[in-house]
Amino acid sequence: MYRRDVLAGVRTTIARWLEVGALSFPAARAVGHAHAALAGRALARPLRVPVRDESDARPLVTVTVGGSTLGGSGKTRVALACARELASHGANVVLIGHAYRASPRTARVVTRHDSLDEVGDEALACVRELGSETRVRVVVAPSRQAAIDLAARLFPRVDAVVLDGPLQLAPARASLSVLSLDAAAPWGAGAAPPAGDLRAPRDLLLAHADEVVHVDATPRSVWLGSPARAIDLATFASSFAERRVGLFTALARPDRLVRALVAAGLEPKELVRAPDHGPLTTGLARLLGAADARVDVWLATSKCAVHLERSGLGDRLAILDGTLVLAPAVALALRRLVDAP
Note down pLDDT in tens along the chain; length 341 residues: 445 544 555 556 656 656 656 566 666 666 666 666 677 777 889 999 987 766 666 778 999 999 999 888 999 999 999 999 999 999 999 999 988 889 899 999 999 999 999 999 999 999 999 998 999 999 999 999 999 999 998 988 899 999 999 999 999 999 999 999 999 999 988 887 777 888 988 999 999 999 999 999 999 999 998 888 999 999 999 999 899 999 999 998 899 999 999 999 999 999 999 999 988 999 999 999 999 999 999 999 999 999 998 888 888 999 999 999 999 999 999 999 998 65
Q: Which long-range contacts (CB under 8 A, 24 or more apart) does 108-111 make?
A: 108/139, 108/140, 108/141, 108/150, 109/137, 109/138, 109/139, 109/150, 109/154, 110/137, 110/138, 110/139, 110/140
Reported in sequence order, the residue ranges of the chain that DSSP labels E, i.e. its strands, are 44-46, 51-53, 56-59, 61-67, 93-96, 108-109, 136-140, 160-164, 168-170, 176-182, 211-215, 221-224, 229-232, 245-249, 270-273, 297-301, 317-321
Per-residue pLDDT, 189: 81
Where in the chain are the domains?
Answer: 10-215+325-339, 221-321
State the Cα–Cα distance between residues 254 and 16, nearest whole angstrom: 10
What is d(CA 96, CA 79) in angstroms, rounded to the nearest whole number? Answer: 9
* Axis crossing angle, helix 75-88 with helix 121-130, rounded to the nearest 10: 30
Please report the pLDDT score of residue 111 as a whole number.
96
pLDDT value at position 195?
76
SS3 call for 2? helix
pTM more than 0.85: yes
- Give the contacts of 321 (CB within 8 A, at least 6 positions apart): 219, 220, 221, 222, 223, 230, 302
288: left (phi over 0), alpha (psi -120 to 50) or beta: alpha
* Helix locations, 113-223, DSSP H: 116-119, 121-130, 144-151, 202-208
Give the pLDDT score at 19.
Answer: 65
Residue 74 DSSP code: -
Q: What confidence score (pLDDT) does residue 128 get?
A: 94
Please give the pLDDT value at position 2.
45
CATH 3.30.70 fits 221-321, yes or no: no
C-alpha radius of gyration, the chain, whole number: 20
- Measured distance CA(253)–CA(69) in Å, rounded: 10
Amino acid 306: pLDDT: 95
248 CB-near residues (< 8 Å, 6+ apart) = 272, 273, 274, 288, 298, 299, 300, 304, 305, 307, 308
